[in-house]
């Protein structure tokens, strides 16, 4: 079984190119203006960028969709979401922000998972404070991501008020966003609920970091370490483990941080997963959706028939028999419909 998972994950990383006959309905550059590689933060001199797609129509301001890519927190960058961004910019009227964040393997394999979450938090805060320059309405924000990116989106929704200026995560299990406006503290940002968003779309997400840690996330048996050309280690450093420090891992796990509706009303959420997904299985995603509903949170669940993991990725995967052009549009149309209902477009 472990060998099968290894091969399965390996195949997911072998992304081929499309045949060059991209449909205009999938990408029509006349529908949007693209600003690439906009630097939104530079932690320790490491530039973090995003690409912004703005509608060219003159309706005024538009809702914003923030995308976080997947890759096991170890591989890929936002280019894996390029075709998804282009499709959404072509077929909807949203400002699309396709975000880069640090990976565990970056900065000499020293980045910690809490820092990655802090990058996601910081990206949303930067977008809220700057998106008006790109026709975006900062009062109408949705977040989305696939796999590890869905994890980051869920953390924004569930734990976006758990902020502290103490940059040592282990001290209080709180987060210091990578970006904060000048003069604003993390505590002020928390009090003002600056990470409040109006919708979330979570595609085949990883919602239980604690369980993943127990099952080998930090081990060399996890092939993503090999794919990233990095030595396997603890996601918080070598001195921590899910067995000895379970609270740290659970603080990074959305499934343990869902608030009761009476405590906090979360935005509407759409959860997607392929029926044949062997990595983040329909059972695990359904478990998360069911728990959201049991806490009174508004949730929709959609299982994509006969699809595997990573059906939103750019390009094609010959081994899995999947391609963006054939597999992604139906799911993306589902997302657009969900967002249009949330934002009443």
Nearest to residue 254, comparing CAs of 285, 227, 226, 281?
A: 285
252 close to 117: Cβ distance less than 8 angstroms: yes
Helix (H) or strand (E) holding 138: strand 136-146
Note down pLDDT in tens along the chain; length 345 residues: 344 344 444 444 444 444 444 577 899 999 999 999 999 999 999 999 999 999 999 888 999 999 999 999 999 999 999 999 999 999 999 999 999 999 999 999 999 999 999 999 999 999 999 999 999 999 999 999 999 999 999 999 999 999 999 999 999 999 999 999 999 999 999 999 999 999 999 999 999 999 999 999 999 999 999 999 999 999 999 999 999 999 999 999 999 999 999 999 999 999 999 999 999 999 999 999 999 999 999 999 999 999 999 999 999 877 666 799 999 999 999 999 999 999 998
The rounded distance, in Å, linking the Cα atoms of 61 and 138 is 9
Q: Where are the domains of the chain?
A: 2-343
CATH of 2-343, one of 3.40.50.1820, 3.10.580.20, 3.40.50.2000, 3.40.50.12160: 3.40.50.1820
Give Cα separations from 16 to 27, 277, 326 (angstroms).
18, 20, 14
pTM: 0.94
The rounded distance, in Å, linking the Cα atoms of 54 and 39 is 17
| 34 DSSP β-pair partners | 53
Helix (H) or strand (E) holding 152: helix 148-159
pLDDT at 103: 98
- Helices 324-343 and 82-91: crossing angle in degrees, nearest 10, is 50
Residue 72, token pair as written in the block: 């096991």
151 close to 207: Cβ distance less than 8 angstroms: yes
């Amino acid at each position: 079984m472990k060998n099968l998972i290894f091969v399965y994950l390996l195949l997911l990383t072998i992304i081929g190119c499309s045949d060059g006959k991209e449909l205009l309905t999938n990408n029509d550059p006349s529908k949007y203006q693209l600003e690439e590689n906009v630097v939104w933060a530079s932690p320790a001199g490491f530039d973090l960028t995003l690409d912004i797609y703005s509608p060219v129509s003159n309706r005024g301001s538009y809702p914003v969709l923030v995308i976080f890519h997947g890759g096991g927190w170890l591989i890929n960058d936002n280019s894996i979401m390029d075709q998804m961004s282009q499709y959404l910019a072509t077929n909807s009227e949203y400002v699309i922000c396709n975000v880069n964040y640090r990976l565990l393997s970056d900065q000499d394999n020293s980045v910690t998972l809490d820092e990655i979450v802090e990058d996601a938090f910081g990206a949303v805060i930067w977008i809220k404070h700057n998106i008006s320059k790109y026709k975006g309405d900062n009062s109408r924000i949705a977040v989305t991501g696939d796999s590890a990116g869905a994890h980051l989106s869920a953390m924004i929704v569930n734990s976006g008020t758990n902020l502290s200026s103490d940059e040592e995560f282990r001290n209080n299990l709180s987060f210091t966003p990578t970006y904060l406006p000048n003069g604003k503290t993390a505590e002020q940002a928390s009090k003002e609920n600056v990470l409040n968003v109006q919708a979330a779309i979570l595609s085949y997400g990883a919602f239980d970091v604690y369980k993943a840690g127990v099952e080998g996330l930090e081990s060399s048996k996890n092939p993503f370490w090999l794919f990233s050309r990095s030595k396997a280690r603890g996601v918080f450093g070598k001195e921590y483990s899910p067995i000895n420090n379970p609270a740290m891992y659970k603080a990074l796990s959305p499934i343990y941080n869902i608030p009761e509706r009476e405590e906090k009303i979360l935005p509407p959420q759409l959860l997607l997963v392929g029926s044949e997904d062997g990595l983040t299985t329909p059972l695990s995603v359904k478990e998360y959706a069911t728990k959201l509903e049991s806490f009174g949170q508004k949730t929709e669940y959609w299982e994509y028939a006969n699809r595997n993991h990573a059906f939103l990725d750019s390009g094609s995967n010959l081994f899995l028999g999947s391609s963006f052009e054939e597999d992604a549009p139906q799911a993306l149309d589902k997302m657009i419909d969900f967002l249009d209902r949330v934002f009443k477009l």
